[in-house]
Structures are given as C-alpha cells and as structure tokens.
Amino acid sequence: MRFIGKLGTTCIYDSTHTEECPDFDFHAGSSGGYGEFAFVYGPSAGGLVESVQFRIRTSGEQILEIYANPYFKTRRFKLSGKVEDVTLEVERVNAMFSASHTLSFLLGVEKSMDVSPDYETQLGRIVELELERVRNHLYVLHKLVETGALGVASYQLQAMQETTNRVIGEACGHRYFFGVNSLNHVECDFQRVDLRYLEGFKSFFNDLLENRILIDRFQNNGRIDQDWLIGPAARASGRKYDARYDSDSLPYKDLGFTPLTERSPDTFGRFLVRVEEVMQSVDLIQEAVKRWRRNERKEIKMRDSGEAESRVESPSGDMVYRVRIDDAKVDVSFLPPSKANLIFLLKSVIGTIFTDFPFNWESFGIWISEIGVEKR
C-alpha cells in the first residue's frame, strides 16, 4: 500500500483511504544561524511561468530553508451540477493536463454508477493520456534544456511539442482535448495520429547525454528518495509507482505496460525517466490505435445517488478525483499531482545552491494552476 496524498481530510492510498490525515505545508528546512538572510523569488520572475512565490533563507549560496505560496492566483470553480457542465470546468483546471483531469473525473462518475465503459472507449482514453504524456514530457525536457542554455536543442524540443499539439488537434479537433470527452465516449479519430516525427527522438536524446555541462547540472541536484514519491520522481528513485500499473481504471496491462524506473533520485533521474517514457508512450499509442475502433455515443442515464474515487496517471503522477452524486447532480473534489510534487521539491532543494534551483524546479513538472483552485 502506497501513500498518494491528502484529499480533504482523507489520506489517499493506492488501495484504500483513511479518514484521519496529518496536515502538510509547503515548507522545508530550518535556519536561524548567524549571518543568514531571506529573499523572495516570484511570483513574477524570470523562469517562473506561473504565479508562485518562494521565500528562501540562506547564508550565502546554500538553501537552508524554503517556503512556497502557490495561492497568489487562486481560481474558483463551481465543480458541481450536471456532468456536462462540470466537465467543461474540470477540463480547464489545467489545460496541459486536461485529459488527466477530465478522464479521472468521468471514470469516477462511471464508477459511482456501476457503468463499465466500452473497451473501445477505454483504448481511446489510453491514447489520449499517452499523447498528453508525450506533449508534457517534451515540455519539461525543453524547459530543462533551456535552463541549461542549450538553445538549439531547446528549440528542437519545442518543435516536437508543437507538432504533438497539432497531431492531437488533427485527431480530436482541439489540441487540449476540450469538448472531446463524455461518459463512455471519446470524440476523436485516432487513426489520424501520426508519430513519425518522433522517430529520431532516441538519437536526439543520446546526443544530449554527450553534453557533460548539462548533465553535471542534473546529477546530484535535488536528490530525494522517499517512499511517498509519485510520478516520474518515484520512478527515478527505482519505485514502480504508477496508476497505469497499480490501478484498474484502464486496461494498460493488455498493452504489456510495465513502469520504467531508474536508480538516480535526482534531476538527472527524473530527466531520464521522462525521456524513456516518451518512447514508451509512442509504443503504447501505436498498439492501442491498432486495437481501437471508433464507437457511437451511447446515452447514459444518471443515477440519483452514488459515490466513488478514481485515479489515473497524469504526466507528473497520480490524479485523484472523488465524485458524489445526489439527485442526479455531481459534486467533485480532486487531488492533483502538483500538490505532492511541490512538497517533494521543497524537501529536495535543502542543501542545494540557488543557481541549481531552476533545474530542480523544472524536473518535477509542477503546475501551480491545479494547486491554487477553490470550489465556489
């Protein structure tokens, strides 16, 4: 049994949950020695795409203590009502993880009504999630390489990411899967997915590994080896933690899936895992598309009541949704992977130097947009 995170007052595990859960805050380290001082990084600073503030204490270069405030740009979502209306909000919590949010939500609704999605729908959802994984891993790799001042390689990765966006748009009508998903249905033509532009990715990656300046900035930076890790951070530390593997939400095992791991619990390991998972996702997509057949939308009548939790593996780790149905209306709460990853990031930076912070930050694939959410 592995710990995933805290949702409301509940501790979420891969197989069960408990009602009592300790509080977790966005703070790590301790200080108070002679000559120490604090400075603020963010919420508007070069290198930070989203609004987040870090308060860092140091005696010079080394980070001794750090606080994070991810709530500068809090957004309010209703997250209750008819399934179709809530879907429109859920898919916009974090557009980069739209498929992960939406599918975890819909799987929760279906589970609460004892509805088993058609096999074709399940395969289509796998293709969605893996296309999203390719896109987001390419984005994280681009940010890591950009931080290392490798301009040409950074632009090449950006081009691959943009091509992935266009492939998604060609197959589904929207590059972020907006309006694509509904109960037991995926409105995409996955036969149009063409990933030949990634055929040279392995060679490109091998060339990157020849750059010792870049790799030296990754190795031993942001080391963290804890049993509560999720996503690429967990797999970089050798743990096979993956909702595709330990959740029965989608039939990944039919495609021969098994998690890829490394034995390098640092920025370099997280970099390697994302690179390897891009290639693995391409294989999963191609195998799923071979088996996939487009199916017709089927009307599903909402139940008056029900409750369930569901979990999928987003590009950065477990995405958990809790769904309650009352009078045929849904009420939703969720646990995004970025909340756990921000806690792990803060722990991993203690003892590192500030100039290495951007590499560590990018390696976790954190999106503040899905942390700073309140229900209205």
Write out pLDDT tens, residues 172-203: 999 999 999 999 999 999 999 999 999 999 99
Looking at residue 245, what is its pLDDT? 96
Looking at residue 374, what is its pLDDT? 84
Beta bridge partners of 323: 308, 332
**CATH number, position 349:** 1.10.645.10
Place of tokens 């998972």: 277
Amino acid identity, position 185: H
Burial label for 142, CB within 10 Å (0-12, 13-18, 19+), is buried
Backbone φ/ψ region at 96: left (φ over 0), alpha (ψ -120 to 50), beta: alpha
Q: Can you spell out the DSSP letters for 129-170?
A: HHHHHHHHHHHHHHHHHHHTT-HHHHHHHHHHHHHHHHHHHH
Q: What percent of the chain has pLDDT over 90?
A: 80
> Can you tell me the distance from the alpha carbon of 9 to that of 79, in angstroms, rounded to the nearest whole number?
18
Tokens, residue 358: 């951007």
Neighbours of 353 (CB within 10 A): 13
Looking at residue 72, what is its pLDDT? 84
Confidence category of residue 299, pLDDT binned at 50, 70, 90: confident
> Can you tell me the distance from the alpha carbon of 111 to that of 223, in angstroms, rounded to the nearest whole number?
38
Confidence category of residue 125, pLDDT binned at 50, 70, 90: very high
Predicted confidence (pLDDT) per residue in 213-229, tens digit: 999 999 999 999 999 99
* Lowest-confidence pick of 63-77, 252-266, 288-302: 288-302
Q: Quote the number of domains for the chain.
A: 1
Higher pLDDT, 13 or 316: 316
Tokens, residue 212: 């010792």
Confidence category of residue 303, pLDDT binned at 50, 70, 90: confident
Looking at residue 188, what is its pLDDT? 96
**Structure letter (DSSP) for residue 199:** T
Give yes or no for a contact between 270 and 260, defined as CB atoms under 8 angstroms apart. Answer: no
Give yes or no for a contact between 367 and 50, defined as CB atoms under 8 angstroms apart. Answer: yes
Q: Average pLDDT for residues 276-295, to the nearest whole number? A: 95
Q: Mean pLDDT over all residues of the chain?
A: 93
Looking at residue 84, what is its pLDDT? 94
The pLDDT of residue 292 is above 90: yes
Predicted confidence (pLDDT) per residue in 64-107, tens digit: 999 999 998 888 998 999 999 999 999 999 999 999 999 999 99
Domain encompassing residue 37: 3-375
> Can you tell me the distance from the alpha carbon of 102 to that of 213, in angstroms, rounded to the nearest whole number?
40
